[in-house]
Amino acid sequence: MEWANQLCENRQFGSKMTDSKYFTTTKKGEIFELKAELNSDKKEKKKEAVKKVIASMTVGKDVSALFPDVVNCMQTDNLELKKLVYLYLMNYAKSQPDMAIMAVNTFVKDCEDANPLIRALAVRTMGCIRVDKITEYLCEPLRKCLKDEDPYVRKTAAVCVAKLHDINAQLVEDQGFLDTLKDLISDSNPMVVANAVAALSEIAESHPNSNLLDLNPQSINKLLTALNECTEWGQIFILDCLANYTPRDDRESQSICERVTPRLSHANSAVVLSAVKVLMKFMEMLPKDLDYYGTLLKKLAPPLVTLLSAEPELQYVALRNINLIVQKRPEILKHEMKVFFVKYNDPIYVKLEKLDIMIRLASQANIAQVLAELKEYATEVDVDFVRKAVRAIGRCAIKVEQSAERCVSTLLDLIQTKVNYVVQEAIVVIKDIFRKYPNKYESVIATLCENLDSLDEPEARAAMIWIVGEYAERIDNADELLESFLEGFHDESTQVQLQLLTAIVKLFLKKPTETQELVQQVLSLATQDSDNPDLRDRGYIYWRLLSTDPVAAKEVVLAEKPLISEETDLIEPTLLEELICHIGTLASVYHKPPSAFVEGSRGVMHKRLPARTGSGESTESPDVGTAAGGSAPEAAPSIIPSQGDLLGDLLNLDMAPPTTTGPPPPNTGMQMGGMDLLGGGLDSLMGDESEPPHVPPRTDILRSPSPQPLSPVYTHTDYTYTDYSHTDSPPDHSPPDHSPTEHSPPAELGGDIGGSPAMGAGFGAAPAVMPASLNAPVGGGLGDLFDLGGGVGMPMGAYIPPKTVWLPAMKAKGLEISGTFARRAGVIQMELILTNKAMSVMTDFAIQFNRNSFGLAPAGPLQVLTPLGPNQTIEVSLPLSTVGPVMKMDPLNNLQVAVKNNIDVFYFSCQYPISMLFVEDGKMERQVFLATWKDIPNDNESQFQIKDCHLNSDAASSKLQGSNIFTIAKRTVEGQDMLYMSIKLSNGIWVLAELRVQAGNPNYTISLKCRAPEVSQCVFQCYEAVLKN
Amino acid sequence: MIGGLFIYNHKGEVLISRVYRDDIGRNAVDAFRVNVIHARQQVRSPVTNIARTSFFHVKRSNIWLAAVTKQNVNAAMVFEFLYKMCDVMTAYFGKISEENIKNNFVLIYELLDEILDFGYPQNSETGALKTFITQTGIKSQSKEEQSQITSQVTGQIGWRREGIKYRRNELFLDVLESVNLLMSPQGQVLSAHVSGRVVMKSYLSGMPECKFGMNDKIVIDKQGKGGGATGQSIAIDDCTFHQCVRLSKFDAERSISFIPPDGECELMRYRTTKDIILPFRVIPLVREVGRTKLEVKVVIKSNFKPSLLAQKIEVRIPTPLNTSGVQVICMKGKAKYKASENAIVWKIKRMAGMKESQISAEIELLPTNDKKKWARPPISMNFEVPFAPSGLKVRYLKVFEPKLNYSDHDVIKWVRYIGRSGIYETRC
């Protein structure tokens, strides 16, 4: 508020009378003064007072106490004053709902004003006031405004429908506003069309399956016509909407492309990018041999290049998108390398992005130019940029074989500069060059060794050590070099320690005579003096290998390494496809799917590129279509997964069930059970094997994927692996000469058996099945069989609670209803048993749900086709959807149901296990999990105890997976297994869980973190139910 | 869509805060201040994600404009909108400064209410906005006036209001180009391109229908005949147009037709790479005399009509880091060694076409044991010439206003060409 005071003084010294003076009211008692002024008779004074109020509001002061006085000023002819009062209302109405109602009359009156500007203003503001009572009154005026004669009012009303939908979706549907909105797409005024499209697109996002936009050739034609006439912003709305459409065939696709291409010449970069998105997407459908396809490709390059002359922030957005486009269709920009050369006055974020694209475009034809540029960049001032430039030189070497020699000599030049970070970066990339071109550039090793002392970054040290170990036979003093590192072994970071261990073992295998002492030293350092389990594990493996079979050791450690592939840092193809569908948006800037940064269900739907379905060649499968779409995928470059992916693989290996490493489990309950059976079985087998004392703990067996890549895999991946996993010291790892005592307590054995489904079928699952079969005496039919099958054969499938009586016959004139909920093949089902205990026949069954917390609603009618005679029972399963109206219930999983038959309507309520709502794609990316976990405030964490559960962690994890509770990672700390799990509810809420299982302790601890902490209790109940049944 | 819009001063104090969506709270205001404005490091990206909230920012002098969202918005649109917002504010009250923003905060709120609805950008053309958002308060409008306003704001020609009258119909066209060059010491062009803009200032009555013609190769070739008479044509790599230009017509017929906004607008931007007229040629000659001396001779030749004059010519000749002294002799203009910039700067006020001028310098070097050779950065040049280096010529700009009685001939038209140097470098 300092400046406000200063300004106050200025004013006293007679400065100009302007609006800034309103920022100056900071005295005590100002509220009273303002109150008086607001109630003044003089219009001018009133207006001044309202301005002061707004100024205070802006700087964050609470002026809500003035609510009634400000609202009193609302009825005025002065539009400026009115707008100010409205602004105030929008801010404070929510905190004072009762008083906000005072404003309603004025709004309603204003909506009928003769002046269209005032009508629009009223409807616009009303939509921003999120108070239920006001919303009710909004409907009538809104309906009128949607059909107003003035386009300005209509375009404002169109957006207002989206606002209202955000407040109360059900109301919008009930009132039929969606249909009116759809009609507006055919409005004569282009801006009305554009706003209607924007509103509909937004509403459609929260109803992914509704056919709200109903795009068809006719409506597309309307949109394309409006495209030529509306404002630049309207064009963006329409193009973004068009991008969601999938043309029927290549002809339609081409004709849309033809009508969209003129937009590429628009001065507004967002229009251009959205047009590029539509074209990139629809191009997928065009046959490649079509002339038009080639023309289109040529037309795309110039506008993309032109984007680079926009303002820097937009250049950044454009470059992030070009990065995607270049990966998808390298041919578009392959001749445009020069425009990505960095300019001295580019902001750093533009420079870094340009550099990335330069490397993607580097080819034999332009490599000389690129290298000259990169060398230039390596002498700049910004450290990050220089590092990236040096790294880029290495990537060029790997990408363009012909240039490798030149790249290496350039790197050597750079090493000569002795600039510390340049040298380190160069060494890191030279290591990769050695990997790609073994036995070619070893002559430079001497130069590298000169710089040994200056390396202080772990990555560079590790790279250097790797080089020394790998070429130990050619470096005379390799042992001395490595020994010098060994002195400070314990101060090194883990990656350096691991590397040093491997390097010394390599050295020993190459020069056994002189280095025996060295290798013994490092092995004992690694196994006995280290707290790091990875390091110790690796140490043990080497130790055992060397002591049992040196020949085998040689084969393992000095095995030929797989060559690293050409292209690095490529985005994984399915993600790339999805991102192409999001060109221009934040997703394309972050290079992440929207689900990674958007909360709730909005925009989480995954978008895919259309498959090529030419009218003549429609038989092509989608996969072929997309693969042939780009030119690159034909010789699909193999990808070095980013470090996170490798980490994932390793972590997955830690988890027993093989299903988690493969594609997501198939959806049908039957298959899922089968797979899990296998997984669980395998798990227990492995578990059994790990019992004998002299074998290292079983996680280690599982972790090394195959004997061969031991050293190469570690050199590339273990860097990050260690970042995450067991950095604490588990006491159960002991040196090999002691006999480990850990894996023996009977409790765990029991747990293993209980969890192993092969044996556990009779045990764990039986109680779950029994009541179900008891409750279904007659006519169980197929459904029951299925249930039974589920009970016996697949205890690991989704957990289904036993059926309970929901509606006793006493209360429902003879109709008894019992039932349960199940999730089968991704569909939520309500399984009902209807028994007629009355004397007369029952017919005309129907079912309805009250609004509930997760929008559960019957997806179809209740299928009771034949009349239900006395003493007859029928089993029905009713598929449910989650797009129904939402209202928070207490308890959260409470469901109120009405069942009607020819006799009466009956009401009952039941509780469904929230696990029915766990969707199949609830497995979170590990990085996302980590970030989200940190992101959710600790207040949202809740802890529960699950008592008397005798499963081991792996069995628990696979059991939970059956109910779509996915284990993402597991680590073991001090004999305690920590499982990290994610769950996604059908409404997009994520629940993260940490399950702690202590061997031998039947009590589990579970911590749940969720942005909506209300659900935690229900989720916990599910854990308990799933784990105990 | 955009969830909120904040304007901060350089200290991070909020000057304007407008929230459009329920998912954006007041804490977002602070999050941006703490994480971006007060961040210790230089900003590494114009888009920042803090706790699942994305912030887009642009800076104008020391004012920060930030748009906030929690959704997957069209990022390009958000930035375009922020730029537009700046344009609109500038058009209303001049420079974007803390004082101006405070003085006009009511106006800014009014504008924000109008040009952004629920986070969706609406008509943001100043021409239209000024008809109903004024600083002097709303005059009472007649019914016709009101409907005229609304139809203009929502109409196809949202950037121009009806009923504009000028006593003298006049228009100015500026063709502004920036020519970029990288040349090898031997005089071979390594890369060259021109990026140009056509800026139009029009003071025309009514709703004038305009048609702009230039010597675009595609158009000339299509017309076929008279190619020789009209002189050279140029190949345009790419061009973009102001939203008033009918793009589908350009795409189909390559004709540029439009109804211009009143006052100034950037009608078109373009790029060319072929047949560029390089206004100056730089011929460097660097000779190393022993280890402690360099002899540099640079000749510049002006390559355009002798009747034209180039202005503000500046040649910058880099010198090694270990330079101890420089002696310069130049035929024309003034030359100085600037030690702080490691360069000899040679300035010439004016130079006619087809002339030649020379500078020679002796550079004394301190002996060093630095093995690294001097990298010889390129010689760069700045200038301004009164023609378009791309060769672009305005062939016509026809004005039709069917309703008012003035014809194309009554409009006074002015055309001006200015070519400036972009990055104009010659290696030595």
> Tell me, what's the ipTM?
0.84
Residue B332 assigned to a binding site: no
User: Quick one: pLDDT at residue A257?
Assistant: 94
| CB-neighbour burial class of residue A641 (10 A; exposed 0-12, middle 13-18, buried 19+) | middle
B4-124 maps to CATH 3.30.450.60: yes
Spacing of C-alpha B248 from chain mean position: 25
Is B347 annotated to bind ligand?
Answer: yes
In this complex, is the C-beta atom of A196 within 8 Å of any C-beta atom belonging to chain B?
no
Nearest CA in chain B to A118: B146
- CA pair distance A888, A988, nearest whole angstrom: 16
Q: Give mean pLDDT, residues B218-241.
A: 75
Domain B170-276+391-426 has CATH 3.40.50.280: no
Contacts B269 to A, Cβ<8 Å: 267, 306, 309
Which residue is closest to A312 within chain B, CA to CA?
Answer: B46
Q: Do A195 and B74 touch (CB under 8 A)?
A: no
Long-range contacts (CB closer than 8 Å, 24 or more residues apart) made by A640-646: A640/A564, A640/A565, A640/A567, A640/A568, A640/A569, A641/A572, A642/A569, A643/A717, A643/A719, A643/A720, A644/A720, A644/A925, A644/A926, A644/A927, A645/A572, A646/A716, A646/A717, A646/A720, A646/A721
Question: In this complex, how many residue pairs, one in chain A and one in chain B, have their CB atoms less than 8 Å apart?
Answer: 265
- State the burial class of residue B394 (Cβ atoms within 10 Å of its Cβ: 0-12, 13-18, 19+): middle
For residue B307, the model assigns a pLDDT of 94
Chain B residue with minimum CA distance to A268: B80
Name the B residues in 349-388 with CB < 8 Å from any A CB.
Answer: 371-372, 375
Nearest to B76 among A270, A305, A597 (CB): A270
pTM of the model: 0.68
Helices (H) and strands (E) in chain B, counts: 8, 23
Q: Three-state SS for B8?
A: strand
The candidate with the shortest Cα–Cα distance to A195, out of A142, A149, A241, is A241
Shortest Cα distance, chain B CAs vs residue A255, angstroms: 14
- For residue B282, report the phi and psi dihedrals to the nearest 5 degrees: -110, 125
Query: B108 pLDDT band (50/70/90 cuts)?
Result: very high
Name every chain A residue with its beta carbon within 8 A of the beta carbon of B137: 78, 80
The domain spans of chain B are 4-124, 170-276+391-426, 280-385
- pLDDT attached to residue A687: 38
Using a CB-CB distance cutoff of 8 angstroms, which residues of chain A are in contact with residue B43? 349
Return d(Cα A428, Cα A425) in angstroms, integer: 5
Contacts with B158 from chain A: Cβ below 8 Å: 191, 231
Q: Which residues does chain A have within 8 Å of residue B69's beta carbon, measured at their own beta carbons?
A: 586
Chain A residue with the nearest C-alpha to that of B84 = A268
Q: Check if the beta carbon of residue A626 is closer than 8 Å to that of residue A284.
A: yes
- Of B362, B381, B364, B359, give the one whose Cα is nearest residue B427: B381
B130 is in an annotated binding site: no
Query: Is 3.30.310.10 the CATH classification of the domain at A918-1028?
Result: yes
Burial class (CB in 10 A: 0-12, 13-18, 19+), A686: middle
**Angle at alpha carbon of residue B85, lines to B25 and B205, rounded to 5°:** 150
With 90 as the cut, is the pLDDT of residue B211 above it?
Answer: yes
pLDDT in tens, B400-424: 988 887 888 889 999 999 999 999 9
Whole-angstrom Cα distance, residue A875 to residue A877? 7
The Cβ of residue A731 has, within 10 Å, a number of other Cβ atoms equal to 9
pLDDT at residue B245 is higher than 60: yes
Taking residues B142-150, report their average pLDDT.
76
Q: How far is B355 from chain A (nearest CA, A)?
A: 31
Task: Flag if A305 and B271 touch (Cβ within 8 Å).
Answer: yes
Residue A23 has a pLDDT of 65
Residue A899, burial from CB neighbour count under 10 angstroms (0-12, 13-18, 19+):
buried
What is the spatial distance between Cα A735 and Cα B296, in angstroms, rounded to a whole number? 73
d(CA A575, CA A550): 45
Is the pLDDT higher at A635 or at B142?
A: B142
Whole-number pLDDT of residue A34: 84
Q: Is A202 on the interface with B (CB under 8 A)?
A: yes
Q: Cα(B381)–Cα(B285) distance, rounded to whole angstroms?
A: 16
**Residues from chain A contacting residue B375 (CB–CB below 8 Å):** 379
Do A379 and B375 lie within an 8 Å CB cutoff? yes
Amino acid present at B213: G
pLDDT digits (tens, 9 = 90+) for B292-336: 889 999 999 999 999 999 999 999 999 988 899 999 999 899 999
pLDDT of amino acid A613: 54
Q: Point out the residues of chain A with pLDDT beneath 50.
A: 1-17, 614-795
Q: Which CATH number fits domain A804-912: 3.20.20.140, 3.40.50.300, 2.102.10.10, 2.60.40.1150?
A: 2.60.40.1150
pLDDT attached to residue A635: 37
Q: Which of A193-202, A1010-1019, B39-48, B225-234 has the lowest mean pLDDT?
A: B225-234
Nearest to A313 among B14, B79, B375 (CB): B79
Q: For A588, which residue in chain B has the nearest alpha carbon?
A: B75
A272/chain B closest Cα distance in angstroms: 9
Amino acid A496 reads: V
Which among A20, A87, A233 has the least Cβ separation from residue B109?
Answer: A87
Q: Do B74 and A189 touch (CB under 8 A)?
A: no
A728 vs A735: CA distance, rounded Å = 17
Angle at B86 between CA B80 and CA B90, to 5 degrees: 145
Kindly report the CATH number that applies to the domain delimited by B280-385.
2.60.40.1170
**Secondary structure of A611-662 as H, E, C letters:** CCCCCCCCCCCHHHHHHHHCCHHHHCCCCCCCHHHHHHHHHHHHCCCHHHCC
Listed residue (B176, B197, B213) closest to B387, CA to CA? B176
SS3 A27: coil
Average per-residue pLDDT for chain B: 89
Of A16, A150, A312, which is closest to B147 when you measure between CB atoms?
A: A150
Does A3 contact chain B (CB < 8 Å)? yes
> Which residue does chain A place closest to B271, by CA atoms?
A306
Give buried/exposed letters for A305-329 (b at 16+ CB in 10 A, else e): bbbbbbeebbbbbbbbbbbbbbbbb
Nearest beta carbon to residue A151 from set B29, B69, B151: B151
Out of B21, B54, B143, the one facing A114 most closely (by C-beta) is: B143
Question: Which helix (H) or strand (E) is A514 found in, with range?
Answer: helix A512-527
Domain B170-276+391-426 and domain B280-385 have a common topology: yes
Q: Where are the alpha helices (DSSP H) in A709-775?
A: 710-724, 746-755, 757-760, 766-775
